[in-house]
Amino acid sequence: MSTYVEARDVAAAVAAMADGARPVAGGTDLVVGARHGKAPLPESIVGIHRIPGLDGISVADGVVRIGALTSHAAILSSPELASATAGLLDASAIVGSHATRANGTLGGNVMNASPAMDTGAPLLCHDASVVLTGPGGTRRVGLAELWTGPGKTSASPDELMEAVELPLPPEGAGSAYVRLQYRRQMEIAVVGAAAYVEVSDGAVSAARVAITALTPVICRVPGSEEALVGRRLGSNDSVSGENPAVWTQTTEIGDAIHAAGQAAAAAATPISDVRASAGYRTAMAAVVTRRAVTAALTRATGGSVTVPASDWSER
């Protein structure tokens, strides 16, 4: 016998989850998964979609906090996130269709833990963690510790994700997410990559790179990051130009971007499926990584990269 309750606050949601109920937010993974036979709907469901205070975006004390119920559409229309976490906007902009983005939430995307989900790689590059609240209290878990396998997290079934938190990036930082796609909407990443860079005194002072749909869980690529840190960008003129080809292919940073791509391909252990062979995915890992790093560096140095960067880099 199936049951449903709607939670009006976090405590009620956690209590229902402790009794065995699965939370549903936008339902665009949970309900749709049941529709196409992936997994039947849970017998006991708790609606969390109207809990006050679980949506919304705030920046305070150097921390960007995005409530679990924040929709992809709300992420896209946030000026704070557009400047702080452009790579997250690149991801939310290409989730499903406008209906998917109006209902699908960041919490659902992250907790669903698909290796192909779009917000994962940019959030990992932004060093994000999730705020989990269960019967025993609240804890923060980094994304690398949260995702334990395809569709699996280390959160216990009675822990509600309240928010994603990440450090407010300093001046001179930029991020981007690029996925390889056969069409621009209603698509799943064939492969994807995100990059976060900080640039100071004309050189890369920090770099984080993560890959999507290339490993059982979305993960960072230390080899790509090492290839970038410390490398000089060349003159400001060539860096902030609209045409990144000028500086990405012929300079010290161009070699570093190439090496970052090669390291991503070396880290990839993809599957072959109807969408692409493992060999093709591995080859494209290098391409999307180069594109993501290029877009992130362009943003970090004041250049314009329109959202979503996937379209920008194919232009």
Partner 1 sequence: MSIDITLTVNGVSHPLAVDPHASLLHTVRDQVGLTGSKEGCDDSECGACMMLIDGRPVNACSYLAVQADGAEVTTVEGLADGNDLTPLQRAFLEKGGVQCGFCTPGMLISATALLRDHPRPTEDQIRIALSGNLCRCTGYDGIVAAVAAAAEQG
Ligand X SMILES: Cc1cc2nc3c(=O)[nH]c(=O)nc-3n(C[C@H](O)[C@H](O)[C@H](O)COP(=O)(O)OP(=O)(O)OC[C@H]3O[C@@H](n4cnc5c(N)ncnc54)[C@H](O)[C@@H]3O)c2cc1C
Dihedral sign from CA coordinates of 37, 42, 46, 48: negative
User: What does 29 interact with, of partner 1, ligand X, none (CB < 5 to 8 A by kind)?
Assistant: ligand X
Angle at alpha carbon of residue 196, lines to 242 and 98, rounded to 5°: 75
Q: How many CA atoms lie within 13 A of 75 on its CB side?
A: 36
Based on its alpha-carbon atoms, the radius of gyration of the chain, rounded to whole angstroms, reads 19
108: contact with ligand X by CB under 6 A: yes
- Give 234's DSSP letter: -
Contact segment (CB under 6 A) with ligand X among 105-113, 194-202, 234-242, 298-306 equals 105-113
Q: How far apart (Å, rounded) are the C-alpha atoms in residues 141 and 308?
A: 28
User: What does 301 interact with, of ligand X, partner 1, none (CB < 5 to 8 A by kind)?
Assistant: none
**Across the strands, what pairs with 153?**
147
Q: Which string of x and - marks every residue 11-30 that binds partner 1 (by CB under 8 A)?
A: -------------x--xx--
The count of chain residues that interact with ligand X, using the rule CB under 6 A, is 31
98: contact with partner 1 by CB under 8 A: yes
| Coil vs helix vs strand at 118 | coil
Q: How far is the CB of 245 from partner 1 (least distance, A)?
A: 24
28: contact with ligand X by CB under 6 A: yes
213: contact with ligand X by CB under 6 A: no
Backbone angles phi, psi at 170, to 5 degrees: -75, 170
Contact segment (CB under 6 A) with ligand X among 16-24, 79-87, 190-198, 274-282 equals 16-24
Of 78, 85, 103, 298, the one binding partner 1 (CB under 8 A) is 103
Q: How far is the CB of 100 from ligand X (least distance, A)?
A: 5
32: contact with partner 1 by CB under 8 A: yes
30: contact with ligand X by CB under 6 A: yes
Q: What tokens were used for 54?
A: 């679980």
CB 208 within 8 A of CB 196: yes
224: contact with ligand X by CB under 6 A: no
User: What does 108 interact with, of partner 1, ligand X, none (CB < 5 to 8 A by kind)?
Assistant: ligand X
| Coil vs helix vs strand at 67 | strand
Residue listed under structure tokens 């050189």: 203
CB 219 within 8 A of CB 208: no
Q: Which residues contact 17 (CB under 8 A, 6 or more apart)?
A: 23, 46, 134, 157, 158, 159, 160
Residues that bind partner 1 (CB under 8 A): 1-4, 6, 24, 27-28, 31-32, 34-36, 41, 45, 47, 49, 73, 96-100, 102-103, 183-186
Residues that bind ligand X (CB under 6 A): 22-30, 32, 48, 68, 94-96, 100, 103-105, 107-109, 111-112, 117-118, 160-161, 186-188
